[in-house]
Structure 1
């Protein structure tokens, strides 16, 4: 019996979802999702969707883990059972979930200015709502926006993208189908400084392909950075307008009170 296999890249140079090799999926950012948190963001990369909530800096919950000279970063991750076709329920001790949380923590520890908040803790909660490849990149990009929304100072934006090695040419922003078939890695870069804060290799890559994917991921990071800046700028504009309206209302109320007292 002949097995059916979906072609990763057809003769015309198009992928199964109609993109070219270096083309990114549609990215959306929503930073008004969790009113109870200090900052949050919901990010989609194609069909992959991740929600991140940030709490803090606040008093550390475990005194033995408190650092006198900087804040500690605590990351918890969860994956919705219905986010994939297997519908497997993953507990907090699941290896994949622990690895996801550990990589996010390692990515942001050099970027968050923890020295400004000694003896405190910053909690990051990551929820994978849907997954179709690029879960780590979506989680990192969502965490960047959530931390900025929480007012946590960063040395730079962190922008992540996956890259894979195809026989014809490297590919960016892989779907789940492509990740299962191609050697790939996730690269998190800081566009303004040009530095890398994470390179996570899922499989072995030839050194020539590694360098090429690294370069392409840096260029893709600059594109994602532009999208992030636009979202942050729009949200900041909205906050300033809200503050301006609040000040005008407060001033009008004070003037009315003064008139009544005359």
Structure 2
């Protein structure tokens, strides 16, 4: 499949270095300590955070010097066009849960909450490529909404190659299924520290640095979008709190 047209545009009309449209919102649920909804292209994800709280179950899981990060990734049965049943806890979901746990252990200030637990639940409502990336970005917003101290935003982006040497950023499902190699990165964009790096296939050494740099730039661009949404959410919450205090004073 030819991923780039003669005009240099991708199958969905984007330029090679252009992200899919991202829409997000914090505080979508009242029951969790933090929650967020994120759309990255046609991939739609819900994330909820509970904690920090006491260790549930066996106390032997408690870590005396840091918090226990528990992650659960799942996909809604209607999230893809496949009709086969996707039970919770299948091999793919367990692998994604493990990757999310490793990723956020690098972002959360785990030393601040010894002998406690933070639960992160992610549900993919619609899958159109970049499921892990969207899950990381949504979970980051949910952690911010929960007031969990982070070293900085944890952001994730994917990249690939078209026509053998043109890097593509934020890969869609159609581009993923074309058979080309895909590089997925989760990083702390400001410091440049990489928490997770995964390749679907081998990259030639001549192209690896170029593709990796484009993925990291995608993480930095996503951070700007998430930060703008956090600022907007804080402004709305502050305005609502001021209005409530003013109303209470009038009463």
Per the normalisation by structure 2, the TM-score is 0.94
How far, CA to CA, are the matches of 1:219 and 1:41 in structure 2?
23
Measured after TM superposition, the shift of residue 87 of structure 1 is: 2.7
Secondary structure of the equivalent of 1:24? Answer: coil
Q: Aligned partners of 2:45, 2:198: CA distance in 1, in Å?
A: 19
Matching of residues 46-65 of structure 1 within 5 Å: 46-62=41-57, 63-65=59-61
- Greater Cα radius of gyration, structure 1 or 2: 1
1:10-29 Cα offsets, whole Å, 9 max, x none, are: 22211111111111110111
Find the aligned partners of 2:201 and 2:88 in 1 and give their Cα distance.
25
The aligned counterpart of 1:35 is 30
Unaligned runs of 5+ in 1: 1-5, 254-262
| One of 176, 179, 194 as aligned partner of 2:176 | 179
The partner residue of 1:110 within 106, 109, 116 is 106
Aligned pairs, number = 248
RMSD of aligned Cα (Å): 1.3
Q: Match for 2:134 among 135, 138, 144?
A: 138
CA distance in 2, matches of 1:61, 1:40: 21
Q: 2:193 aligns with which of 195, 213, 223?
A: 195
Q: What is the TM-score of this pair, normalised by structure 1?
A: 0.91
Superposition deviation, residue 208 in structure 1: 2.2
User: 1 or 2 for the larger relative contact order (CA 8 Å, sep ≥6)?
Assistant: 2
The structure 2 residue matched to 1:80, chosen from 68, 76, 80, is 76
Separation in 2, partners of 1:11, 1:238: 45
Confirm or deny: 8 A CA contact 2:27 2:145 kept in the other structure: no
Q: 2:75·2:125 contact (CA, 8 Å) conserved in 1?
A: yes
- Matched position secondary structure for 2:191: coil
1:225-257 deviation line (CA, Å, top 9, x unaligned): 11111100011111212222232233334xxxx
Q: Is the contact between residue 165 and residue 205 of structure 1 (CA under 8 Å) also seen in structure 2? A: no
Q: Distance in 1 between matches of 2:2 and 2:206?
A: 24
